[in-house]
Structure 1
Amino acid sequence: MREANKIVSRILDALGREVRPGVQTMFFEELAQNLCAEYKVAPAFQGYQGYPFALCCSVNEEIVHGFPSTRILNEGDIVSFDMGVIHDGFFGDSARTYTVGEISVKAMDLLEVTRNSLLKGIAQAREGNTVQDISRAIQGYVEGKGYNVVKRFVGHGIGRRLHEKPEVPNFVPPGTQEMPLKAGMVLAIEPMVTVGQADVDILADNWTAVTKDRQLSAHFEHTVAVTKNGPEILSVSD
């Protein structure tokens, strides 16, 4: 799993280096496909429940599952890449939101809060804690900064399948039973945060999720192992 997630991180590094105004989002899909071939891994998302691409590419108000297309990135946009691969039967999964040129102060703050909320959640991914400790850390931090977590989509266990138990919400639903974390569990933790309300629309392609109020949304994700010594982030390049 370390190798699968390292490769995902390296692919996201490469995609991020190409983010600039004037680039079509389909360019990133083609680059991701080429890098999968170079690393000798299979794209995890393509064909999964009918999803047609290797990459999820979501711009501005698009939360997740955005289709790469002829859409051109403009100065001031933000773009989220969510990528998964399969290597030797194990899955890797990670997401990042990138800036396109100079962005607004509000957009930059959104990215910082979302990235920090992920780190807050990861810090709770240790034996003796619960899944809900992760959720509380993310939700509490995000809402404390005046933003909202998207509740329709959640993190998940990951291993020999892309989505395994347990679910890892970015909020704590009322009446939730605490689920203990144990060493050896591997979780994809992925806060999606919006400037406005958390309500979601699904576009006509039946995949792209956007904020109902069309406010900006950001998405960061790491795959994290729960170990005896605390959390270990697997989706890093080195």
Structure 2
Amino acid sequence: MNNLYGTIPPCLGDLSTMIQDEFSFQPNVHYLNNSKLTSEYIDYALINWQGIVREFRSTLGLVKSIDLSSNNLTGSIPCELADLHGLIALNLSMNALSGEIPPKIGLMKNLLQLDLSRNNLSGQIPTSMSQMTSIDYLDVSYNNLSGRIPSSTQLQSFEPSKYTGNGLCGPPLTKYCPGDEEKEIPHVVGQTEGGGEGMNELEIWFYIGGATGFATGFWIVCGTLLVNRRGRNAFFHFFDSWKDWVYVNVMVYTAKWP
């Protein structure tokens, strides 16, 4: 949060302590005549860590962090920064940085926090970032990035808001990448593909099932009558009796009609 402008100097990649990936820590102590003083001064700093300003004191010597956020820096991110294998936090957000994310950034295996949001970065997210298995905070939102988000356990675990404001696609975003098989859109009930009125699939199967059931039942009855003679005689006898009963009742009802 200064007024720094210009490009990020590539010589930042020469910070020897940050190149080492061992977490060595030597407390800051005053000495006088090779005798240890009884008083020690304690490091203190407020650092933007995972989107929250945190206070570091006794463990500050373990924090290998570069925070150049909220300035007026321009140009591209130096590829030399990827040589800082011991770096655990890098925040370059809210500048005017352009160009692509360094392809070798995935070699920073100890990186826990990476914030490149609100810049003018373009191109794709490097595939090497899929190797960053330790990263637990990532924000590349509001840039000009495009293409598919590399597949990895970590990159898909972040909220979609950390990728918004770009032309990115693929999980965890809901936007499909070209070539991905999109989910089939269900048909509207009662309409055909051309938009006209028609039968839906449920109605079609209802009529098919009804017709099949009627034909099956019809031929079962007819087949029984054709094969079983006694049953056929009983059926026709019943049918004749029922016909006579209907005829008599109709004639009686008609005679009583005024």
Assess same fold via TM > 0.5.
no
Q: TM-score, normalised on structure 1?
A: 0.26
Higher Rg of the two aligned structures: 2
Select the structure that is richer in helix.
Answer: 2
Give the TM-score of the pair, scaled to structure 2: 0.25
